[in-house]
Amino acid sequence: MAKIYVNGDAQEVSLPLNVSELILQNNVQQPEMVSVQVNEEFAEREDWEKIQLKEDDKVDFLYFMGGGSR
Amino acid sequence: MIDFTEEQIQRYSRHILLQDVGVEGQEKIMNARVLVVGAGGLGAPVSLYLAAAGIGRIGIVDADVVDLSNLQRQVIHFTKDVGVPKVKSAEEKIKAINPDVQVDTYYEFLDSSNALDIIKEYDFVVDGTDNFPVKFLINDACVMAGKPFSHGGILRFNGQTFTHLPGTACYRCMFKEPPPVGAVPTCSQAGVLGAIAGMLGTIQAAETLKYFTGVGELLTNRLLTFDAKTMQFRTVPVKHRDSCAICGSNPTIDHLIDYALAPCALATKGTQEQAACDLKNH
């Protein structure tokens, strides 16, 4: 087991774990639309399967939020 | 140096009292020119607070008229304004709060044909729009014109905002391109708690005033998000992306793009949302 931080909250995960798998585990809605940062660097979508997470990694999911005017 | 009248000293006394603002800061505010895109949920509190603060010139872009369903959160518009262009309704309230403010109204949509021309007249832009095509347009136009702006988005019980200065992370650094048409719901489709617009809009107004007075640290290279259900606020550090298509070292976008506007439909719509959507827009 390893501890990583997802959107600021600690999470116990089993390694090995890549970013795509983490997205699945977290039930991220519409993953095709989410932006992902790993340790404050943007992770390109095509790299998600390749990026192996490790202890103390910080992962942030950024979501579109479009409202405002109408 | 502006010669403050007695009335101005009284009106702005609570700013002038602030050590970080003072007479000098208030003068900067009064010389400032701000463009507010969208006179809706976000544009309403932004415009009201900027007018009250004494921003010298406020431009407002909006092609809509006031609808009864707007009044739940768009606090610059009153019941008597239903059917009136939002820019006219907003201008009237701004003038009523502070007659010193010069108001420019643009009763039109911001698009690739007018964005750069309108933006160049202002020192700071506030994004209070409700759709992704215009959010990307504002981002791209501001990056091209070297203008700072405040991004804002709200949905349901959530809000997010960041401030862009030339050289700091832009919207495209965070989100490469707009989501597919209809894939992400807007407030008119999914709803929003009215006060959320005030929470987010006042943050944008505060950022605008901080920008002109130089007070504190702006929300640059940070995305502020909050969830009003838990009242948890969080700032996520975000970095300028060197491969960004508009602000990276080899930008691939050299002109403004008019992305397709979402028709009133959701890719994964529920009938209730669709009904609300139909009610609102047609």
The whole-number average pLDDT for the span B72-98 is 98
Domains along the sequence of chain B with CATH: 32-281 (3.40.50.720)
Mean pLDDT of A16-27: 95
The C-alpha angle A62, A68, B246, rounded to 5 degrees, equals 55
Question: So what's the pLDDT on residue A69?
Answer: 57
Q: Which of B153, B241, B280 sits opposite A67 (nearest CB)?
A: B153
Q: Provide mean pLDDT across the span B3-9.
A: 95
Contact call for A69 and B42, based on CB within 8 A? yes
Q: Using alpha carbons, select from B42, B37, B154, B39 the residue that is nearest to residue B94.
A: B39
B135: chain A residues, CB-CB within 8 Å: 66
Put simply, whether B192 touches A (Cβ < 8 Å) is yes
- Is there a contact between B127 and A68 if contact means CB atoms under 8 Å apart? yes
Q: Which residues of chain A make contact with B130, given a CB cutoff of 8 A? A: 66-70
Per-residue burial over A39-64, b = 16 or more CB atoms within 10 Å of its CB, e = otherwise: eeebbeeeebeebebeeebbbbbbbb
Beta carbons within 8 Å of A53's beta carbon, 6+ residues apart: A2, A4, A13, A15, A17, A18, A19, A22, A38, A59
Residue B119 is classified by DSSP as H
Asked if residue A70 has pLDDT above 70, the reply is: no
The pLDDT assigned to B189 comes to 77
Provide mean pLDDT across the span B162-175.
Answer: 97
Mean pLDDT computed over B113-139: 97
Asked whether A63 and A34 are in contact (CB, 8 A), the reply is yes
Nearest by CB to B160, from A40, A60, A65: name it.
Answer: A65
Please say if the pLDDT value at position B155 is more than 60: yes
pLDDT digits (tens, 9 = 90+) for B17-27: 999 999 999 99
Q: Which of B95-99, B178-182, B277-281 has the lowest mean pLDDT?
A: B277-281
Mean pLDDT across the stretch B137-151?
98
Task: Give the gap in angstroms from C-alpha A29 to the nearest C-alpha of chain B.
Answer: 11
**Hey, is the C-beta of B99 within 8 angstroms of any chain A C-beta?**
no
Q: Are B131 and B186 in contact (CB under 8 A)?
A: yes
User: How many residues are given for chain A?
Assistant: 70
Shortest distance, CA A31 to any CA of chain B (angstroms):
11
At residue B215, the pLDDT reads 97
Q: B68: phi > 0 → left, psi -120 to 50 → alpha, else beta; which? A: alpha
Mean pLDDT value across residues B251-263: 86
Among B130, B234, B241, the residue with its CB nearest the CB of A68 is B130
- Report in angstroms the alpha-carbon separations of B107 from B34, B189, B203: 16, 24, 25
B41–A60 CB contact, under 8 Å: no
Report the C-alpha dihedral over residues B108, B112, B118, B119, rounded to 10 degrees: 130
Identify all chain B residues contacting A60, using CB atoms and an 8 Å cutoff. 236
Which domains are assigned to chain A? 2-62 (3.10.20.30)
- Would you call B41 and A68 a contact, using CB atoms and an 8 Å cutoff? yes
pLDDT at B201: 98
Residue B132 is nearest to which of A30, A42, A66, comparing CB atoms? A66
Task: Indicate the SS3 state at residue B33.
Answer: strand
Pick the range with the lowest mean pLDDT from A26-40, B70-84, B191-205: A26-40
The predicted structure's pLDDT at residue B81: 98
> Is A41–B239 a contact, with Cβ atoms under 8 angstroms apart?
yes
pLDDT at site B261? 73
Decide if B246 contacts B168 (C-beta within 8 A): no
Q: B175 vs A65: CB contact, 8 Å cut-off?
A: no
Nearest residue to A61 (alpha-carbon basis) of A17, A2, A3, A5: A5
CB B130 to CB A42 under 8 A? Answer: no
CA distance B174 to B240: 8
pLDDT at A14 over 90: yes
Q: Give pLDDT tens digits for B32-53.
A: 999 999 999 999 999 999 999 9
Q: Work out the minimum CA distance from B238 to partner chain A, whole angstroms.
A: 6
Q: What is the ipTM of this complex?
A: 0.89
Mean pLDDT along residues B220-234: 97
CB under 8 Å to A21, separation ≥6 — which residues? none
Name the residue among B132, B155, B174 with its Cβ closest to that of A62: B174
Give the pLDDT score at B184: 80
Please say if the pLDDT value at position B280 is more than 60. Answer: no
